[in-house]
Chain A
């Protein structure tokens, strides 16, 4: 009996996935457990394995097709089997908007406000009529620029998306703002290269596009700047040394310096609510819980999983959970639901020897903390120069939401809490 392989739904908010690679082609024999295809959402990558034995009788979608979740992707069965019942329905990938790779423009100036897929709401405001049209045309309506009342996508927005595409819409939206001044022109003397330049053009992955979009959006739509401060890491290093044997025995999770910093941040944030928040234009949304996001480097690129309610978790719990999150990101098995919803982010490049850097805000969050490596510095104490382990923290924040003094106080609070970690641990 031929069986359909469907595009799995990865998380509640995912409506479609892109097939990035086919590992089998039509006619290939497959065994249960064989890799069929790799696919990705805008946040992570997954592998689909065959669950039955047989031959790939039909493949409906090509690489790079954006496939609605739960759609049939291919058919596995025995050679010569009748698969006509799977063929009745016309299958249509969601057409890729050619401008997808463009950085996201500023919020449209047209009254009606935000892009439909922005903001914390997980659903998109769209009229039934507009939705019908989008479905009929096979258009991803989340790309539409809403011009209806109350930020609603209405029929004309889908029509505009269908006829003009995303880029034109964004330009139009941007045009509604003031046109930028013509840049000054520079004239360079032409220099003929000795030989033709050598390069390779590689299409960037969907995930790269997502990262690019998020970064550009952050830099273009926020007023971010960075403070740096350093602290004496003696106490946390000693603490770590003390509990290391317990971790090795398996009585505690492996608690890293990063875990300790995450723990402290989760506690200090409670005293600085402006940083445990989202800047939403007219309003600031203050979170009552700390949903702490952590930047993770993966083979596919940067991922930012979220540890929800971090402030209510013990250091040990936190260490375990952060490890699991990082590991799932590495493997690409992380649920997309765990890749959004953070209220503050910590990014640690210290392990690669970076001393300090300016992290980019994970908008609409109001702050992000960059963590550098431990360096030995000297300081004067009792007339002598004494070495001590020092770490540098960089706090990038959105000046629209917080002023400099507030940021400085927050950073100071983190440093003090780390320097007096035993007290911090005792009182939290």
Chain B
């Protein structure tokens, strides 16, 4: 909603027509003779060589999967092998012009792409650099494994590097500790960052929005190179791929981002179009685009520079890549490329190709670039068949030696969970504290002191009671939203890589006014409005962090998390451990639990996030905790789901003596806080129910003489139970309460854990007071849905200890639990 752009009805209501440009299809028409002006003969032969290596590598995997052996080496490999036999020309053609500063993100079928990219980098890199990479990678673990092959040390550096790469990739596929990711990624996720090869993704189209984030990183941090999302034709049916396309083509990059930050993203959506999504034929059955490149036409006036290129001709792909690279360099991206290809093998070795005819496969095999391109080279007098056979024999020997090493249990052991049972556990979080991820000066538009929000906050009381001991009025008191703002503002002035985006973040200041004042402080490239693309918002943050930056993204309502399901549950949470800790994920995902707005705007989905391993989850309920936890999340290197509640953005600090400090401080993630000391019953709260619990505690004391101890969980993952256990040892009784629906809520998990850990001390079962297992009704009916102070008292009365004279109104009896569970409510 920038005011600088006027939506003029006179202009917008005029009649007219949208004009489309032609989208080139297989436009390449050079002969090999012509190309000899562009390539050395050696280069032309190397293209054949790299294709042949990929073919041999994947044929080897196919042989091991289907026959249990390769070249006499027996090995049982139970894992996945999604092969791209037939697609080699497309991969090698793409990679030839790329170097280590160009990032590729792949799919489940990316062995070919990573080998091609690696070999291309190796060719371009100096020997010393290659040696440093091999020595430095994972403390030489991969290199040492390679060296146990006797011939390795006789190789030249580039040959060593190629052997090293093939071994590291295969060891990774075979889940070995000496693989590039210690075997924790596996076949579908092989990567090697020193060559600009980023993790491949087993979720179809998963790399689209992650690559978008990496491109965003390159742009914001002015780094060299382009980013390629290598995804398949079938992924065009995936919402997040479209979200990435729409996000990446937002007008603001070219119209609103200023100076050197202006212009299109250096991003290539590269569709390796092998014409099948498993067995679904995309052209003719599961899509309607006819030719995939058409998809670019409707996206933006540049039509995404879309083009179809013949992926069976490596020279055609190279020629096209060169042109597209120039477009990206000129900041006119993103680009959409439809690289036509074909896989001869099945989707996986268990695929019996019931969806296509042998004639079709045969026809494409006749056009196999490994035959046709070689023939062209021979015809042009560049190469001979004898030399080609000699080359293939050498490749076979090389691959054989690689396989020998990779299957050798001594050279290539697995991560030992016997010797170190915590080996994977240690990788779930990086738990680092890094104040800034780059040394350069953060770009801001004004000094902190000039910020209007900072001025406003300066006039506010930082504790809920004034000097007269009376509560300060809402407009004059520091609120929870101010706490989040202050922590963020501090970090924006410290870490130049920090960016924040989401829906209505700029100008509006976020739907709940947390970001008010940030628009004045930050240029567009550090704070901007994203398209309503929750998947791409989170996915791009993942890519931004993998590439080396820090991002805070916001989903406005917790209920919108479903739209970013894959990005939160499969991407944000997984990549630190899947890269064996090599990549970090400093992302804060802000979500806001609502109320008043009905069934799709009032849910608390904490349990969904807490269930997924690899995410930290916090839910502060006071300004002091919000500021301290946000600071901790921002200083950390782990993904943190930062849950807020719209009921309490305006609460003042009521618990922390002296109010919210002005300076920066951290609250350790995972530590609950005793908000009220008591002796008779413990009440553990998650989020906004803290305040209803305070009311309940007052009633308990005044009416029934019961002294309640209130513990605010503050964090859900990680969570230190020690304070809770201490409290239960004292009181013997505990009630847990939060606004989430009761069934399978985090409270249930906590209640179960407390029962296990405190069984000996419990005087009654832990009782969960959550919301009903219903849709959230209208605001006027919410008191029947969300936990109320009276419910807490009713629960104590019915499940823990009868309170004299109390007449319960909400049933918490066993009979009620049986009834409700029987009905599924």
Contacts and interface: CB of A to CB of B under 8 A. Distances in A.
Given A127-B732, A129-B732, A148 B800 contact: yes
Nearest to B814: A150
Contact of A154 (B759, B763, B804): B763
B763 A149 contact: no
Contacts of A156: 801
B761 A149 contact: no
Contacts of B799: 149-150
A112 interface: yes
B732 A111 contact: no
A111 B704 CA distance: 14
A254 interface: no
Contacts of A111: 802, 804
B68 to A, nearest CB: 56
Interface string A148-165: 111010111000000000
A155 B732 CA distance: 8
Contact of A132 (B760, B764, B797, B798): B760
A155 B733 CA distance: 10
Given A128-B759, A129-B732, A149-B797, A154 B764 contact: yes
* Contact count band on A: 10 to 19
A122 to B, nearest CB: 19
A150 B800 CA distance: 8
B762 A128 contact: yes
A130 interface: yes
Interface in A123-161: 127-130, 132, 147-150, 152, 154-156
Interface in B797-811: 797-802, 804
B801 A154 contact: yes
Contacts of A127: 732, 762-764
B704 to A, nearest CB: 12
Contacts of B759: 128
Contacts of B762: 127-129
- The listed residue with most A CB atoms (<10 A of its CB), out of B764, B797, B799, B804, is B764
Contacts of B804: 110-111
B761 A129 contact: yes
Interface string B742-778: 0000000000000000011111100000000000000
Nearest to B797: A149
Contacts of A128: 759-763
Contacts, number: 46
A34 B717 CA distance: 68
A276 B800 CA distance: 35
A130 B814 contact: no
Nearest to B813: A150
- The listed residue with most B CB atoms (<10 A of its CB), out of A112, A127, A130, is A127
A147 B814 CA distance: 18
B814 A148 contact: no
B732 A149 contact: no
Nearest to B765: A127
B760 A149 contact: no
A129 B801 contact: no
A270 B732 CA distance: 48
B801 A130 contact: no
A32 B100 CA distance: 94
A149 B800 CA distance: 5
Given A128-B760, A129-B762, A154 B814 contact: no
A147 B760 contact: no
Nearest to B799: A149
Contacts of B798: 149-150
Contacts of B802: 110-112, 147-149
Given A111-B802, A147-B802, A149-B802, A130 B797 contact: no
A172 to B, nearest CB: 13
B254 to A, nearest CB: 67
A130 B762 CA distance: 8
B732 A147 contact: no
Contacts of A132: 760
Contacts of A129: 732, 760-763
A287 B608 CA distance: 49
B576 to A, nearest CB: 40
B792 to A, nearest CB: 14
A132 B759 CA distance: 11
A98 to B, nearest CB: 27
Interface in A104-128: 110-112, 127-128
Contacts of B801: 147-149, 154, 156
A124 to B, nearest CB: 15
- The listed residue with most A CB atoms (<10 A of its CB), out of B798, B801, B814, is B801
B728 to A, nearest CB: 9
Contacts of B761: 128-129
A129 B802 CA distance: 17
Contacts of A152: 764
A155 B731 CA distance: 10
Interface string A377-402: 00000000000000000000000000
Contacts of A154: 732, 763-764, 801
Interface in B374-411: none
A149 B804 CA distance: 12
Interface in B779-824: 797-802, 804, 814
A132 B797 CA distance: 23
B451 to A, nearest CB: 54
Contacts of A148: 763-764, 800-802
A139 B764 CA distance: 20
A127 B802 CA distance: 14
A152 B814 CA distance: 14
B800 A130 contact: no
A111 B799 CA distance: 13
Contacts of A130: 763
A154 B762 CA distance: 9
Nearest to B732: A129
Interface in B346-377: none
A112 B799 CA distance: 11
A110 B805 CA distance: 10
Nearest to B795: A149
B756 to A, nearest CB: 12
Nearest to B800: A149
A148 B762 CA distance: 12
A229 B800 CA distance: 51
Nearest to A151: B802
Nearest to A130: B763
Interface string B709-737: 00000000000000000000000100000
A417 to B, nearest CB: 41
A378 to B, nearest CB: 61
Contacts of B764: 127, 148-149, 152, 154
A112 to B, nearest CB: 5
Contacts of A155: 732, 763
Nearest to B767: A149
B754 to A, nearest CB: 13
Interface in A85-119: 110-112
Contacts of B732: 127, 129, 154-155
A129 B799 CA distance: 15
8 contacts: A110-B802, A127-B763, A127-B764, A128-B759, A129-B761, A147-B801, A148-B800, A155-B732
Which A-B residue pairs are the 5 nearest by beta carbons? A111-B802, A129-B763, A127-B763, A129-B732, A154-B763
Given A149-B797, A149-B799, A149-B801, 15 more contacts: A110-B802, A110-B804, A111-B802, A128-B763, A129-B760, A129-B763, A130-B763, A148-B764, A148-B802, A149-B798, A150-B798, A150-B814, A154-B764, A155-B763, A156-B801
Interface of B: 732, 759-764, 797-802, 804, 814
Interface of A: 110-112, 127-130, 132, 147-150, 152, 154-156
